[in-house]
Amino acid sequence: MNEPFDIQEYMAKGVEIIVNDALKATLKNPRESAFMLKFAAAIRAASKKRKKAEENGEHIPPFLIASITSKCNLHCAGCYSRCNHATVDSEPVCQLTSDEWLRIFNEADDLGISFILLAGGEPMLRRDVIEAAAKKPNILFPIFTNGTFMDEKYFKLFDKSRNLLPIMSIEGEKEITDARRGNGIYDKLIANMDELQRRGLIFGASVTVTTKNIQEVSSDTFLQKLSNRGCKAVFFVEFVPVTDDSKELAPGDKEREYLRSEIDRLRREHPEMVYISFPGDEKSSGGCVAAGRGFFHINSHGGAEPCPFSPYSDVNVRSTSLREAIHSPLFTALRAGGILTEDHEGGCVLYEKRELVESLLAESEK
């Protein structure tokens, strides 16, 4: 019988691969090589912190997702964030400042959180927050970006701060990427990848998996093109429909099983890249890891939420610590109630059971 897949262990090993590749890329620069060696040591130290907390009866997740802005310049077809009104065109108000985000990053470092995924909206609109993240070399910051704001200043920042890892969203080849994201986006992404590779910088890709692109984005042809351009990690994010007219894009049981088998094959045959499937890896590693089991989400206004697909919050990190947010009444109820490990049709279990989540939220606020 196969051992259950452990996404947290796989991510940790994946980071080792990325760090080793980064070390090779910086061998001619002693300063940067020393930086990467210190970062690898910091990852191990953070793991020890979490293990010690576990021995004392407190679970600290290794990951955090931070949506640092709600503004985005694109209108991608079927975007869950826009449908939930979490992403807007106008300049947002009352969002966390860069100083507030830096305080959160400091608390995360103290707790032993090793990975903070920066998202949005479009996170690269918040250069001030990304520059704050650069001050925390003990934490790896994958930046989930549409790639349209990559410029010389960012290239220099990524070169100086190797803990910042751009993850560019791409939907497959040119036709399907531009159809979902807008004309010219694919060419911009490819130009970014080529420039990052030229400078010896590590990057990854994020793919929203739909019924229309699942064959293309899991193919050796597409993935080899990414690898040849220097891509080191691919995040397969299953499309979650939040409107009735987008349900046909959501993978069904047949598509999910196909993707699962393909990712298993890719991990065996092409270990030069890291492959993460969300939420597919959750089902094979003991259930949903949101609400603090493996990660949780902080929105651009400071609300602590189970995950980006489940925008419910009973605490705000503006008025509470990160540690207290992890143990919020809502998160505690979700972890204790068994909903995260319940069987479901696929996609996001918390979105599928949102009425139950809403009832738990109401209870937590009494």
- Gap between the terminal Cα atoms of the chain: 46
pTM of the predicted model, to two decimals? 0.88
d(CA 194, CA 228): 10
Three-state DSSP class for residue 30? helix
What 3-state DSSP class applies to 68? coil
One DSSP character per residue, 170-209 reads: --SSHHHHHHHH-TTHHHHHHHHHHHHHHTT--EEEEEEE
Give the per-residue pLDDT at 339.
76
| pLDDT bucket at 353, cuts 50 / 70 / 90 | confident
Nearest CA to 90 among 315, 232, 324, 300? 300
Instruction: Give the list of residues 6+ apart from residue 254 with CB closer than 8 angstroms, or none.
Output: none
Instruction: Please list, in sequence order, all residues whose beta carbon lies within 8 angstroms of the beta carbon of residue 117, skipping any fewer than 6 positions away.
Output: 63, 64, 65, 66, 141, 142, 144, 295
> Per residue in 226-250, pLDDT tens?
999 999 889 998 887 766 667 788 8
> What does the alpha-carbon distance between residue 233 and residue 256 come to, in Å, rounded to a whole number?
20
Is 162 or 227 the better-scoring residue by pLDDT?
227
User: What's the average model confidence in pLDDT over 263-268?
Assistant: 89
Query: How confident is the prediction for the chain on average, in pLDDT?
Result: 84
Domain spans in the chain, listed from the N-terminal domain onward: 7-364
Instruction: Report the length, in residues, of the chain.
Output: 366
pLDDT in tens, 169-198: 999 999 999 999 999 999 999 999 999 999
| Contact criterion met (CB below 8 Å) for 295 and 64 | yes
Instruction: Indicate the CATH number of 7-364 among 3.30.1330.60, 3.40.50.2300, 3.40.50.2000, 3.20.20.70.
Output: 3.20.20.70
Report d(CA 166, CA 164) in Å as an integer: 7
Mean pLDDT of 201-216: 92
- Say how far apart CA 246 and CA 180 lie, in whole Å: 12
The answer to whether the CB of 305 falls within 8 A of the CB of 325 is no
- The helix/strand/coil state of 298 is strand
Cα–Cα distances in angstroms (integers) from residue 84 to residues 69, 70, 312, 364, in the given order: 14, 11, 11, 22
Lowest mean pLDDT among 52-66, 139-153, 331-345: 331-345
Give pLDDT tens digits for 287-313: 777 788 888 999 999 999 998 888 889
Model pLDDT, residue 1: 41
* Residues 91-145 pLDDT 10s: 778 899 999 999 999 999 999 998 999 999 999 999 999 999 999 999 989 999 9
